[in-house]
């Protein structure tokens, strides 16, 4: 029994790494632009399709094509910010949600029309490979996704702390007006932040392709968990997203073990309870849910 529970725990932590990677981009965008991108899951779907087609057409392993996918998602992010997000930055929260939900519907069904609803998956040499650590079995692709998630979050953290652009991004997140007065081109900060957040979900998509099949609504499946993660970690909080990812990964793994049919309900219930008791998330700043969204 002990071994089984340890195995469940390991798979929960590895799954959490994937959730964390998806959530980091979402939370970064929210922290700076104060817009929840409901189309974030569709960006994941686009990344997975890009990764799939590069494999199918050119035989590129998802781990090789990841750079292309990330660059592509960066461009998708730039275009989206420019066309959809920028015009609604000062609109009410309802209208912002409506616009990104519209984008989500548009992209999801565009995928349905062009790619059909078929599940497509990539089989690489590594996708089924397993290493054993003592009595525990660990899937190589999952391990890679987990390690890259940690590394990317670390790099992002350093980037935000050290680089000029990173400081400008943090400054804009703290106070738009003050940032503008300090000579920061906040419009460009928004543009780049959105693109970076999209590129991060591109990383996640490329890493998920060997693990999960891709289909038009795959984004919804992951992004609902990502919403739970970012709220749990405190919207806009990167370390919170990382830890929130692990918590939700563990919750999902254990509830999947004990009550498989109610697995998703469990983390939604956790989500509702967290929102009602401590809406700022476990690591968020108190009051953000009421003040930060003006």
User: Which of 5, 92, 151, 155: binder of another protein (CB under 8 A)?
Assistant: 92
Burial bucket for residue 202 (CB in 10 Å: 0-12, 13-18, 19+) = buried
Distances (CA, A) of 111 to 215, 219, 245: 8, 11, 27
Does 187 contact another protein by CB under 8 A?
no
Least separation in angstroms between residue 234's CB and another protein is 12
* Chain centroid to CA 157: 15
Least separation in angstroms between residue 15's CB and another protein is 18
User: Which of 19, 74, 194, 271: binder of another protein (CB under 8 A)?
Assistant: 271
What's the CA gap between 170 and 186, in Å, rounded?
11
In total, the chain counts a number of residues equal to 294
User: Which of 13, 224, 250, 282: binder of another protein (CB under 8 A)?
Assistant: 224
> 182: helix, coil or strand?
coil
What's the CA gap between 90 and 272, in Å, rounded?
28
User: Which of 275, 278, 282, 285: binder of another protein (CB under 8 A)?
Assistant: 275
Does 240 contact another protein by CB under 8 A?
no
What are 290's two structure tokens? Answer: 């009421």
21, 48 contact by CB (below 8 A): no
User: Which of 257, 268, 278, 285: binder of another protein (CB under 8 A)?
Assistant: 268
Using CB under 8 A as the binding rule, the residues of this chain from 58 to 87 that contact another protein are: 84, 87
Stretch that binds another protein, among 43-51, 161-169, 188-196, 216-224 (CB under 8 A): 216-224
Least separation in angstroms between residue 178's CB and another protein is 22
Beta strands per DSSP E along 80-168: 130-133, 136-139
User: Which of 2, 57, 90, 177: binder of another protein (CB under 8 A)?
Assistant: 90
> 150: helix, coil or strand?
helix
Which residues sit at the interface with another protein, rule CB under 8 A? 36, 84, 87-88, 90-99, 101-110, 112-113, 117, 216, 220, 224, 227-228, 231, 261-262, 264-265, 268-269, 271-272, 275-276, 279, 289-290, 293
């Amino acid at each position: 029994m002990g071994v089984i529970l340890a195995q469940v725990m390991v798979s929960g932590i590895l799954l959490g790494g994937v959730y964390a990677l998806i959530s980091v981009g979402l939370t970064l965008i929210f922290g700076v632009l104060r817009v929840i991108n409901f189309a974030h899951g569709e960006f994941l779907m686009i990344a997975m399709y890009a990764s799939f087609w590069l494999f199918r057409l050119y035989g590129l392993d998802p781990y090789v094509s990841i750079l292309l996918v990330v660059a592509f998602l960066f461009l998708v992010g730039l275009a989206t910010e420019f066309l959809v997000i920028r015009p609604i930055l000062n609109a009410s929260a309802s209208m912002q949600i409506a616009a990104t939900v519209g984008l989500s519907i548009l992209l999801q069904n565009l995928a349905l029309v062009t790619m059909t609803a078929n599940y497509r998956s990539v089989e690489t040499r590594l996708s089924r490979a397993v290493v054993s650590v003592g009595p525990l079995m660990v899937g190589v692709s999952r391990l890679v996704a987990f390690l890259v998630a940690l590394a990317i979050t670390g790099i992002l953290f350093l980037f935000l702390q050290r680089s000029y652009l990173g400081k400008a991004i943090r400054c804009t997140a703290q106070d738009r007006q003050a940032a503008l007065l300090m000579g920061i081109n906040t419009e460009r900060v928004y543009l780049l932040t959105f693109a970076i957040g999209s590129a991060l979900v591109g990383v996640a998509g490329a890493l998920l392709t060997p693990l999960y099949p891709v289909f038009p609504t795959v984004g919804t499946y992951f992004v609902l968990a990502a919403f739970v993660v970012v709220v749990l970690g405190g919207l806009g909080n990167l370390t919170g997203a990382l830890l929130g990812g692990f918590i939700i990964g563990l919750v999902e793994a254990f509830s999947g073990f004990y009550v498989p049919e109610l697995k998703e309900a469990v983390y939604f219930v956790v989500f509702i309870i967290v929102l009602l008791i401590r809406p700022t998330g476990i690591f968020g700043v108190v009051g953000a849910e009421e003040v930060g969204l003006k």
